[in-house]
Every structure is written in C-alpha cells, then in structure tokens.
Amino acid sequence: MVQLKTRGDRALPSRNGKPTLFEKGAIMKHLTIASAFVLVAGLSLLAIASARQLSFPMHAVGSSGESGTATIAKNSDGKLVVTVTLTGEPSGASQPAHIHPGTCDKLDPVPKAVLSNVVDGKSVTTLPAPATPMTGARSIVVHKGSGADMSTYVACGEIPSP
Ligand SMILES: [Cu+2]
C-alpha cells in the first residue's frame, strides 16, 4: 500500500498549478502514515524520513495506452508536490488532470483538486499544506483533453488508503 522512495526530488519546481478545490486532508493523512511507517521500520530508515513520499500506479483507462506513476511528496516548504508521469501520451497533447472523489471504478465526476495538465507525459503541481481530514477514496484522473474530450478518461490511479 504505502511505498517509500528515497528520490531526491522533494523540492520539485512549482509550476502553474493553483488548485482551488483541493480537499486538504487526504494527502496529509497518507504522509502521516508514511512517516509512522518510517519510524516503525527502524533507525536505518530515518535518513529518508525527511523525503517521505507516496508512490502509486496510474493505470490506463480503456484502450488509451497511457499509464505510469503518481507520487505525492512534501517539499521543504511543507507543501505537497503531486507528480504524474505517464508513458503513451500522444505527442503534442495537453491533458487535464484532477483529484476526484471515488475509486477508479466509481468516480465522482466533480473534481476536488485541479492539477497541472499532463504535457510530454508529465504533470507537477504544488498544493497547499493539508489542514482537514480526508473522508472517502480519492483518485488522480487524467482526461483525454479539454472540451468534449474531458469526459474521456485516459488514466487513473487511486491514492492509497491506510
Ligand atoms: Cu477530472
């Protein structure tokens, strides 16, 4: 469920993402769990405690052929950096990405947070530090495009539950 990595990218550059709807509790809850895991796992892992990060798969939806990984990490300012990396995105595409309530099999179509578009297979968004608890499942969803293509999902990944 919770994977910890020692990647050194927790100070990823902030881009254009200015989410207004982010439901803040979700990520913090997971990060708290990740931190607890590090402590339980022993002193040898203390070195990576400051780089705590969640990583989970982004699965292709339908025949999109787009899949990859999402990570949620805390940066040095205490903000959260959400990174989505996909292979198979069509060349030149700019695909909207959101956090939606629900699981990938049963998504609420109304997003809770707006992420940066996925361009060249990557989206990086810095979100404010969480303040309220999460209720229910949350998933990162990538849409085929804007307008009519918004209703077509090309990739989805469920934020791991405790
Ligand atoms: Cu969406």
Q: Are strands 67-74 and 53-60 parallel, antiparallel or unpaired?
A: antiparallel
> Around ion ligand 1, which residues have CB less than 5 A away?
98, 111, 141
Provide φ and ψ at 108, rounded to 5°: -80, 125
Assess if residue 125 is contained within a domain.
yes
How far is ligand 1, taken at its centre, from the CA of residue 61, in Å? 13
- Residue at 80 is within a domain: yes
Question: How confident is the model over 99-125, as a mean pLDDT?
Answer: 96
Per-residue pLDDT band at 162 (split at 50, 70, 90): low
Compute CA distances 46 → 73, 77, 120, whole Å.
Answer: 16, 20, 35
Rounded to the nearest angstrom, the distance between the alpha carbon of 108 and the centre of ligand 1 is: 9
- C-alpha 110 – ligand 1 centre gap (Å): 7
146 located within any domain: yes
Q: Mean pLDDT lowest for which of 7-16, 77-86, 144-153? A: 7-16
Centre of ligand 1 from the C-alpha of residue 157, in Å: 12
| pLDDT of 78 | 86
Q: Is residue 134 part of a domain?
A: yes
> Could you tell me the distance, in angstroms and rounded to a whole number, from the CA of residue 48 to the centre of ligand 1?
32
* Sole residue written with tokens 């040898």: 44
Give how far Cα 132 sits from Cα of 23, 26, 109, 122, 135, Å.
Answer: 7, 8, 22, 28, 10
Q: Has residue 148 been placed in a domain? A: yes
Number of domains the chain contains: 1
Would 19 be classed as within a structural domain? Answer: no
Residue range 40-99, pLDDT digits in tens:
332 223 222 344 789 999 999 999 999 999 999 988 888 999 999 999 999 999 999 999
Give 109 Cα–ligand 1 centroid separation in angstroms.
7
Here the CATH number for the domain that contains residue 121 is: 2.60.40
Whether residue 136 lies inside any domain: the answer is yes
> 3 lies in a domain?
no
- How much is the average pLDDT of 15-34? 43
Gap from CA of 89 to ligand 1 centroid (Å): 17
For residue 160, the CA-to-ligand 1 centroid distance in Å is 18
Instruction: Quote the tokens at residue 141.
Output: 């969803």
For 57, the domain range is 25-158
Spatial separation of the C-alpha atoms in residues 96 and 86, rounded to whole Å: 13
User: Given its phi and psi angles, is residue 57 left (phi above 0), alpha (psi -120 to 50 degrees) or beta?
Assistant: beta
